[in-house]
Amino acid sequence: MIIYFAAILGLAILLYVLLDGFDLGVGMLFGLTRDPDDRRSMLASISPVWDGNETWLVLAGTLLWGAFPRAYSLILPAFYSPIVLMLGALILRGVAFEFRYKARGSREFWDMAFSTGSFIVAFVQGAAVGAIAAGVPIENDQYVGGPFGWLTPFSVLCGLTLCWGYMLLGLGWVIGKTEGALREKAYRRIKIYTCIVGFLLIVLFVYSLHLELQILNRWRERPSLAAFPVIGVGAALLILFGARDRRDFRPFILVLVAFIAAFGTFVVSFLPYILPFSLTIAEAAAPPASLRFMFWGSGLVVLPMILLYTITVYRVFRGKLVNEVQ
């Protein structure tokens, strides 16, 4: 049961990062775009799927609370402020997404709110990951850091890196869903964004060497962990040198592969810890009876329903845009 729920939690987080990641990226790119036709096309490309993508975040939070309550009780106090900020930004971008279509005099405000909310969500997620990787201060099974203990130079750099990564994912989505001038602009930008993300990841690696994180000892002891970064580098090189082929489905898939490789690198670097390096998955798990009880609802009902819904939506709305939302 512990392995099952750890795997399902990992799957929920990964699918959220991949699916909501590209529409957050499109939201940030939206704020950098001035052409109104391009903006309409960008919003139309994510309109059928963006709200459903966030279902995976809800599932991940619920699984953490129910299956790993000890981890939940430590993570929540450490990240109260960023979680509230992220939820507020999600609400803001959701309201802005709907309001801008009816707004006339205030459309610029709602456009700014949509792109700003997207940036805040992406930044907070990246900063939280950086803070977890650097280590959450825990004593006597309690969080002992301050309300802004998560906000460090390292976590800020992680937050900015994820923002650029999500925008790269958004560019791949735009290429796959649009035609004409917007598609060509995305092709021109995707190489630049790939280089920026690669540079930021190198800086993060060097910074982590400076911080002497415990994870580096694992990498020295287990060189096989390098398989995931090698896959990510290979995907990045294919993006750089494969853009000239103009196979529109390829960039998005390659960026997905790079994200999966990055996620795999993060996971295998910290296993079996759920909070590096203070709390293992087994120590954080709920009692076996609770896990067995949760299995019937999550494993046989909720997870299959969400998967079926996600697959159906992406299948129905696959392909290029035909009628843009006005």
Residue 9 within a domain: no
Gap between the Cα atoms of 89 and 212, Å rounded: 33
Q: pTM for the full model?
A: 0.91
pLDDT for 326 equals 40
Host domain of residue 41: 16-286
For residue 244, the 8-state DSSP code is G
Residue 56 within a domain: yes
Q: Compute how many other C-beta atoms are within 10 angstroms of the C-beta atom of residue 320.
A: 11
Residue 297 within a domain: no
pLDDT for 296 equals 84
Enumerate residues 6+ apart whose C-beta is below 8 A from 222: none
CB of 86 closer than 8 Å to CB of 61 = no
* Span 250-276, pLDDT tens digits: 889 999 999 999 898 888 888 888 888
Instruction: Tell me which residue has tokens 């930004």.
Output: 89
Residue 296 within a domain: no
Gap between the Cα atoms of 11 and 199, Å rounded: 28
pLDDT for 212 equals 57
* Span 198-217, pLDDT tens digits: 899 888 887 876 765 666 66
pLDDT for 321 equals 76
Tens digit of each residue's pLDDT, the chain (326 residues)? 888 899 999 999 999 999 989 999 999 999 898 888 888 889 988 988 888 888 898 889 889 898 899 888 888 888 888 999 999 999 998 898 888 888 777 888 898 999 999 999 999 999 998 888 887 888 777 877 777 888 889 899 999 999 999 999 999 999 988 888 888 899 989 999 999 998 998 888 878 767 656 666 677 777 777 788 889 889 888 888 876 777 888 889 999 999 999 898 888 888 888 888 788 899 888 888 888 888 888 777 888 899 999 999 898 888 887 654 44
Residue 1 within a domain: no
Residue 308 within a domain: no
CB of 215 closer than 8 Å to CB of 276 = yes
Alpha helices by DSSP H, 79-179:
80-102, 107-134, 153-177
Burial class of residue 326 in the structure, from the number of CB atoms within 10 Å of its CB (0-12 exposed, 13-18 middle, 19+ buried): exposed
Q: How many domains does the chain have?
A: 1
For residue 226, the 8-state DSSP code is G
Strands (E), the chain: 138-139, 142-143, 273-275, 279-280
HSE-CB of 182 using CA atoms within 13 angstroms: 29
Residue 309 within a domain: no
CB of 75 closer than 8 Å to CB of 145 = no
Could you tell me which residues are beta bridge partners of residue 139?
Answer: 142
Gap between the Cα atoms of 106 and 102, Å rounded: 9
CATH code, domain carrying 223? 1.20.1630
CB of 120 closer than 8 Å to CB of 91 = no
